[in-house]
Structure 1
Amino acid sequence: MKFSEKWLRQWVNPSITSQELMDQVTMAGLEVDGSEKAAEDFSGVVVGEILSCAQHPNADKLQVCQVTNGTDTVQVICGAPNARQGLKVAFAEVGAVLPGDFKIKKAKLRQEESFGMLCSEKELGLSEAHDGIMELATDAVVGADLREYLELDDLIIDVDLTPNRADCLSLRGLAREVGVLNKASVTEPTIAPVAAVHQETFPVNLIDTKGCPRYVGRVLNDVDVSVSTPVWMAERLRRSGIRSIDPVVDVTNYVMLELGQPMHGFDLDELAERIDVRRAEKGEKITLLDGQEIELTEQILVIADAKGPLAMAGIMGGENSGVSTKTTRVFLESAFFAPIQIAGKARGYGLHTDSSHRFERGVDSQLQEMAVERATQLLVDICGAKPGPLIVEENKDTVPVPAEIELYAEVVSSSLGMELSDQTIRQILTGLEFSILAEQDGYWKVRAPSWRFDMAIQADLIEEIARIYGYNNLPVTAPMAAMKPQGPKEQATDVNLLVDRMVSLGYQEAITYSFVEPAAQKAMFPKKDGIELANPISADMSVMRVSLWPGLLKALQHNLNRQQDNVRLFETGQRFRQEEKGLAQIDMLAGVVTGSRLAQGWYESGETVDFYDVKGDLEQLLALIKGVEFEFVTGKNSALHPGQCARIERNGKLVGYIGALHPNLAKQYGFKKDVFLFELRLDRTLPAELPSFEPLSRHPASTRDLAVVVDEDVSVSSVMDTVREMAGEDLISLNLFDIYRGKGIDSKRKSLAMGLTWQNPSRTLTDDEINRFMESIIKTLQTRLDAVLRG
């Protein structure tokens, strides 16, 4: 927020310099981003008055003006269309120096002498307006120095406020802060109720009282919008970064800057029957003041009449409802909109206005009547408006109730590291306009003011006390804490351990965007819809990723296009999917591999990496998870090759996938070599099993070998699971040591050879017991998997 220092000092004027003021405000938590002069340097410019205007004898577009500076009258040639008799103007006399070191000299234009120059705002460096000379108020003192008259020796200060301090988005709020920081009195402008001169009102219907608990309005008749906004008001608006438009709009903007209450003026003759404050209906559209037509959603709060929406509540008015040059009757609006109902709505349409900036952070819920009275008096003074009675609609049940908080001096002392007197604490609280509800030695119960939405607990009050007392005044103390060493949790696996292992295996860590191209992602995962961004960076980065693979494949493509043929990339990050419970953000680890099995060298045979190379890398990675066994099971994934795809499971639960990129996708990306991918859900992968001790057996183990022939489509895991099931609880080891296909075996079958080891902790197992286990295993394999014992 930008504000004029001179304007602020009319509210509160501590005996400190401009730099001290900015430093003080910054240390109080209202960071000053910068400052600039209110006007460029110029001299020799006074308030002048045009006594007469006559057509230039030798030029159609020039006038010969007689201008006085209060002492002398001189002739000035002027080409401005608004130059006229009786106008008070900015008069640069001969010898004046304008911005850019432009010196005013005696001149002759088309054979007529000119002794000075009548200046536009642009020529004085005040604004970009240059369509005419600057018009001053009729009560301006002729001959007065323009810099003094407009108070141009001023500083514009830009304050960057945190979202919780919406109360300081006004001169009133800033003055309160400066006043309590300097223990100085704050002089507010006198705002008295304006007496109604007629009884005309306009019906207001609060339908959504949750979104709009309070709505205040007033009918103003005989409003003359043709008058010019007073220079003092236009100047204060300019110094706050707001362009002057017309007196009605300027007054509402001025009150917003002064008090912090956004307002809107409707052309009453354009309103139909009533004002409704409600939610937008599905399909309703509105054309905003900036000419943009938008379709409203049912979440948008609108101000409407009988014909339809007039404005997006708390954001922007409609094009057809605002004040125009034909307006004579105005309906003045001042409302309180619940911050949660406004927050994010403007950004959803790519909008950001001074009004939405304030309402979504929180406007004082008790400010509306004061704002209407202030705006009414200004419009009466400037435009000759005739006010009607105040219209107040309110639902007290939904108006925010200020927090009541208990504060203890001993907690203040322990938090700040020093003791503050009860008097100091009380002085700070009352200076910030907290109401003291109850008070004892070292104890206060206070009620927050209506504009402090950020006050809720005792810590908030302590922060306010520290802020106002001054952080630099607090002692520097070392923290006292018991430093007990804590070992790592045995069941937790640090993801950095996996990252280090990937690097040691020759992978490079990549970081890709969380948003990807919709078409590319849809091609990989046709049944998973990505979450669309409301304001994407670009069209090809407009949805959130449902997997890390799209980003890694794009990175792979980037490397291959730059002659990097051997690529091994991995990434840790989140994927985003819409699930029944809402948005799911899941930590993942994924990788992509292509190229040669070994780095280029005399020993390298040119073999390309295959599925089992990547599977081996992944098995090394998963071996870091203590006490957990992972299985690779034949699976299907829309992004992977149907014949080279495996599910990675833990206790039967899916934790990831590994496989070759689907041929269609490889063709789409232009990959000429095989590309392999893997991805793991870290929330299901990282937890380790707590190790437990088992005593070693003193008795000898018994080992047997078993070779069976099964069909090719029978998986090894199903055979080994059957063996474990039938081998009894004393089986301590099962090892597959051979897979044979070839001579002596049917071409559609394969031979699996396994080593089995039994050991009992309390006795030696007999041959009969082992034989029974073997018979049970062989019989079950035969009946369940059509296995045949190999001779």
Structure 2
Amino acid sequence: MKFSENWLRELVEIKADRAQLAHALTMAGLEVEELTPLGESLDGVVVAEIVAAEKHPQADRLQVCKVDAGQGEPLQIVCGAPNARVGIKVPLATVGASLPGGIAIKAAKLRGVESFGMLCSAKELGIDNDASGLLELPADAPVGQSLAAYLGLPDASIELNLTPNRPDCLGMLGLAHDVAALFDSHVKVGEQPAVAVTGHAQRGIRLEAGKDAPRYLGRIIEGIDPAARTPLWLAERLRRAGLRPISAVVDVANYVMLELGQPLHAFDNDKLEGDIVVRHARAGETLKILDGSEAKLDPGFVLIADQKVALAVAGVMGGYDSRVTDATRNIFLEAAHFAPAAIMGRARKLGLHTDASHRFERGVDPELPRRALERASELLLSIAGGNAGPISMAENLADLPPPAPVALRSARLARVLGVAVPDAEVARIFTALGMQVTTTAEGWQVVAPSSRFDIVREEDLIEEVARIFGYDNIPTATPAGALTLAVEPEARIGELALREQLAARGYYEAVNLSFVPAELLARWGFDDGLVALANPLSADLAVMRPALLPGLVESLRHNRARQQERVRLFEVARVFAAGDPPVETPSLAIVASGTARAEQWGEPSRALDFYDLKGDLDAMIAWGGEPRRWSLQTDDLPGWLHPGRSARVLRDGVTVGHLGALHPQLAKALDLGPDVHVLEVALEPLLTRRMPQARAVPRHPSVRRDIAVELPEQVSWSRIEQTVRSTLGELLKEVRLFDRYSGKGVENGRKSVAMGLILQDASRTLTDDDADRCVRDAVAALEKTCMARLRG
């Protein structure tokens, strides 16, 4: 938001100089980003008229001008400006004047011709950046008058860096209320009177965009003078706000937008047909907009249209074909309220950023359209004449945000701020900000004006009191209080300890965004239960990740593309699944590729395989002290895993993760080699730890029996172990796998497994008969469930 300091001082009395004003605005949360003094040190600069101009005898680009400065005899000035000509009025720096930048004006000879002063551009005067030629003044500018007095100088252009929650300060009136509260003053602007209706033309209005456009007003003004010139005072305020004057109609619309914060738009009424329709765009609809480009629209856009064609992209930019031109005599002037969500991101989608979209996507006061329309009509009629027709209005009151009272407790205010603000001062602050205040037993009941979208809870009111009362007036104090130390439960392993263990095993931690491209997830086969973002940062960050591996594998691919042949990464973070609200689950993911061990001399190099990653998982499982609750199964695998080199990870029979090599087709699609192995498992089961319990050393000895069985190749060791343990129960203290064989002497598709059974009873010494019975039971169970047979 950029504005003129003098303009602000006309709206509200400010008992402070420029530096104090800038400091107060910044401390109130309205950060002054830039302050540019305008027209300083213009003593000796007056309004002058060029009455004669001849070519310089010794220079092609110079002219010898006779200039009337109101001093009797015309002054001779040598000038090189391309627009210097007879009849125009321009600024003249007389001999003895000193311009901004330290330029002292003296009588001089230029190529042998005497010059008694200097005709100036806006840049030389320090009031604009335009140095293309002399600053041309209006024809009615009084010759000889001080230029500073004529232009209302000195002044300053102040630019604020407003936060998105303060759209009310994108208009001078809203800013004036804040300044009035800061300096215990009052805003000088009253209610806006309605202009006299002298015309009869009007158009019907239909609202068909639902809650996206709940209010729309318009008025026809006939017979305006298209050649009418914008008054100097209005043009100067636009310039000092960073806008170029264009034409009376456009300048009035821009001025009212700056003054009140309500964007307006004017159509050439003669180019419209029938009623005005506010509707959503149709799929594939296009519109040529004011900058000459073709806007490609979709049903997410709101359009202003007539009976036949679209006229404007609502809240963003008007259409080219219905624009106001130098020949326009009849206009249709509109003012509307659009829901911020309906405008948000639409300008960016078209590659635009306009003053209107900047305001509408943050929120414009829904009560402003009528006032802005009357104000614009008043200015336009006074500048360009014409006859104003009656205002046409359509609105859906149910879709307009109703004012909601917010309670503020005085005890809560004092506790948060750490200082007791007098009740009278609190009431004054809220009243000065345009809020309705009612005193209650506990504090105040406050209704914010319709322009303050940011006032929704008690903390918002506390913030208003703090920034207007002044942060400098709130004492600095060190917080006091007893801190309760969090006790880390012994039955849970800390996440930091888990990270340290993985780092000790040679892994590097990665941190990836929680947002991933939908196309990447489609490659992995993640199509169901996704959480899509309503307003993503970009198309590549449109979905919340349902798993850590897609992003982590991209990190591995990024490293592999940079000559890192051995990559080992892990990530501990949350994944997201659809729900109301979405379900967040902490997870651990590991990716690894390259050789099993870093380059060294102690043993031959070999490629990483499934069992290396399984060993890392076993180490984490063992840390919890309950490895028997975990198992692996090779059935029902997701499509992104290799069907013969992968497994599901189960805890207590419930799948909690997956482990193995990437599917060759996925690895090829991701431009990866066949050696990428991955693991993803839910984090909480890994962090659960069994508490150690003291037990007496068994008094009775253990017995070992070794057995070897032949069984199908696809039967996993975990299934064998579970079968033996469930059969022998408490008598089996340990089962040890000490041999696996396949080849000569064993049928194709089968293998031989040898294991040692460690048997022990806490109450007695086991006999040979007890041990032999356990062996028979174990073999029988293996024959039944694993298709095994005892080897001789």
Indicate the TM-score class for this superposition, using the shorter chain for normalisation: 0.7 to 0.9
Alpha carbons 2:610, 2:677 under 8 Å: kept: no
Partners of 1:273 and 1:62 in 2: CA distance: 57
Residue 455 (structure 1) aligns with: 455
The residue correspondences of 1:332-351 to structure 2 (distance < 5 A) are 332-351=333-352
SS, match of residue 397 in structure 2: coil
- Between 295-304 and 366-375, report the one with greater CA deviation: 295-304
Alpha carbons 1:220, 1:386 under 8 Å: kept: yes
Partners of 1:600 and 1:667 in 2: CA distance: 26
SS, match of residue 241 in structure 1: coil
Change (3 A) 1:598 1:458: closer
Partners of 1:679 and 1:142 in 2: CA distance: 85
- Between 553-562 and 740-749, report the one with greater CA deviation: 553-562
Change (3 A) 1:559 1:442: closer
Alpha carbons 2:212, 2:342 under 8 Å: kept: yes
Residue 486 (structure 1) aligns with: 486
Residue 719 (structure 1) aligns with: 720
Residue 33 (structure 1) aligns with: 33
Alpha carbons 1:39, 1:126 under 8 Å: kept: yes
Residue 469 (structure 2) aligns with: 469
Partners of 1:54 and 1:199 in 2: CA distance: 54
Q: Deviations over 1:276-330 (max 9, x none)?
A: 1222222222222233323322222222211232222222222223222222111
Q: Deviations over 1:526-569 (max 9, x none)?
A: 979997998888x9999887765565556556655665544333
The residue correspondences of 1:364-379 to structure 2 (distance < 5 A) are 364-379=365-380
SS, match of residue 246 in structure 2: coil
Question: Is 1:19 matched with 2:22?
Answer: no
TM-score normalised according to structure 2 size: 0.86
SS, match of residue 675 in structure 1: coil
- Between 626-635 and 215-224, report the one with greater CA deviation: 626-635
- Once the two structures are TM-superposed, the CA of residue 39 in structure 1 deviates from its matched residue by 5.5
Alpha carbons 2:343, 2:360 under 8 Å: kept: yes
- Between 738-747 and 377-386, report the one with greater CA deviation: 738-747
Change (3 A) 1:654 1:119: farther
Partners of 1:201 and 1:284 in 2: CA distance: 28
Question: Is 1:614 matched with 2:636?
Answer: no
Question: Is 1:210 matched with 2:211?
Answer: yes
TM-score normalised according to structure 1 size: 0.86
- Between 413-422 and 352-361, report the one with greater CA deviation: 413-422
Report the identity percentage: 43
- Between 527-536 and 194-203, report the one with greater CA deviation: 527-536
SS, match of residue 398 in structure 2: coil
Alpha carbons 2:42, 2:147 under 8 Å: kept: no
- Between 62-71 and 767-776, report the one with greater CA deviation: 767-776
Partners of 1:581 and 1:420 in 2: CA distance: 42
Question: Is 1:507 matched with 2:504?
Answer: no
- 1:261 partner letter: Q
Residue 226 (structure 2) aligns with: 225
SS, match of residue 462 in structure 1: helix
- Between 394-403 and 325-334, report the one with greater CA deviation: 394-403
Residue 162 (structure 1) aligns with: 163
- Between 486-495 and 356-365, report the one with greater CA deviation: 486-495
- Once the two structures are TM-superposed, the CA of residue 259 in structure 1 deviates from its matched residue by 1.1
Residue 592 (structure 1) aligns with: 591
Alpha carbons 2:335, 2:369 under 8 Å: kept: yes
Alpha carbons 1:697, 1:762 under 8 Å: kept: no
- Once the two structures are TM-superposed, the CA of residue 136 in structure 1 deviates from its matched residue by 2.0
- Between 15-24 and 585-594, report the one with greater CA deviation: 585-594
Change (3 A) 1:518 1:97: farther
The residue correspondences of 1:36-51 to structure 2 (distance < 5 A) are 36-38=36-38, 44-51=44-51
Alpha carbons 1:251, 1:378 under 8 Å: kept: yes
Partners of 1:212 and 1:669 in 2: CA distance: 45
Change (3 A) 1:24 1:789: same
Change (3 A) 1:558 1:467: closer
- Unaligned segments of structure 1, at least 5 residues: none
Residue 603 (structure 1) aligns with: 602
Change (3 A) 1:456 1:490: farther
Change (3 A) 1:51 1:541: same
Change (3 A) 1:102 1:25: closer
Partners of 2:192 and 2:517 in 1: CA distance: 57
Alpha carbons 1:633, 1:648 under 8 Å: kept: yes
| Superposition CA RMSD, Å | 4.1
Q: Work out the number of aligned pairs and report it.
A: 787
- Between 186-195 and 101-110, report the one with greater CA deviation: 101-110
SS, match of residue 135 in structure 1: coil
Partners of 1:517 and 1:216 in 2: CA distance: 42
Residue 150 (structure 1) aligns with: 151
- Once the two structures are TM-superposed, the CA of residue 272 in structure 1 deviates from its matched residue by 1.8
Partners of 1:616 and 1:70 in 2: CA distance: 98
Partners of 1:492 and 1:308 in 2: CA distance: 67
- 1:507 partner letter: Y
- Once the two structures are TM-superposed, the CA of residue 232 in structure 1 deviates from its matched residue by 2.5
Residue 175 (structure 2) aligns with: 174
Alpha carbons 2:213, 2:338 under 8 Å: kept: yes
Partners of 1:692 and 1:603 in 2: CA distance: 37
Residue 571 (structure 1) aligns with: 571
Change (3 A) 1:576 1:458: closer
Change (3 A) 1:225 1:582: farther
Q: Deviations over 1:218-265 (max 9, x none)?
A: 111122233332332222222222233222222111111111111111
- 1:369 partner letter: R
- Once the two structures are TM-superposed, the CA of residue 167 in structure 1 deviates from its matched residue by 1.3
SS, match of residue 659 in structure 1: strand
Partners of 2:494 and 2:39 in 1: CA distance: 59
- Once the two structures are TM-superposed, the CA of residue 274 in structure 1 deviates from its matched residue by 1.3
Residue 299 (structure 1) aligns with: 300
Residue 676 (structure 1) aligns with: 676
Alpha carbons 2:494, 2:687 under 8 Å: kept: no
The residue correspondences of 1:317-328 to structure 2 (distance < 5 A) are 317-328=318-329
- Once the two structures are TM-superposed, the CA of residue 122 in structure 1 deviates from its matched residue by 4.8
Change (3 A) 1:81 1:392: farther
Change (3 A) 1:228 1:101: farther
SS, match of residue 211 in structure 2: coil
Change (3 A) 1:763 1:340: farther
- Once the two structures are TM-superposed, the CA of residue 742 in structure 1 deviates from its matched residue by 4.4
- Once the two structures are TM-superposed, the CA of residue 174 in structure 1 deviates from its matched residue by 1.6
Change (3 A) 1:415 1:498: same
Q: Deviations over 1:202-228 (max 9, x none)?
A: 111122342222222211112223333
- Between 645-654 and 321-330, report the one with greater CA deviation: 645-654
Change (3 A) 1:383 1:414: same
The residue correspondences of 1:2-151 to structure 2 (distance < 5 A) are 2-38=2-38, 44-51=44-51, 66-72=66-72, 73-75=74-76, 86-93=87-94, 116-122=117-123, 124=125, 126-127=127-128, 129=130, 133-151=134-152
Partners of 2:562 and 2:344 in 1: CA distance: 46
Alpha carbons 1:214, 1:336 under 8 Å: kept: yes
Change (3 A) 1:271 1:588: farther
- Once the two structures are TM-superposed, the CA of residue 590 in structure 1 deviates from its matched residue by 3.3
Alpha carbons 1:525, 1:639 under 8 Å: kept: yes
Change (3 A) 1:552 1:430: closer
- Once the two structures are TM-superposed, the CA of residue 109 in structure 1 deviates from its matched residue by 8.9
Partners of 1:330 and 1:383 in 2: CA distance: 12
Partners of 2:66 and 2:758 in 1: CA distance: 118
Q: Deviations over 1:614-655 (max 9, x none)?
A: 321232234445646443333656555554333333344444
Partners of 1:22 and 1:142 in 2: CA distance: 35
Alpha carbons 1:106, 1:114 under 8 Å: kept: yes
Residue 388 (structure 1) aligns with: 389
Residue 246 (structure 1) aligns with: 247
- Once the two structures are TM-superposed, the CA of residue 337 in structure 1 deviates from its matched residue by 1.6
- 1:605 partner letter: P
- Between 49-58 and 322-331, report the one with greater CA deviation: 49-58
Question: Is 1:496 matched with 2:496?
Answer: yes
SS, match of residue 392 in structure 1: strand
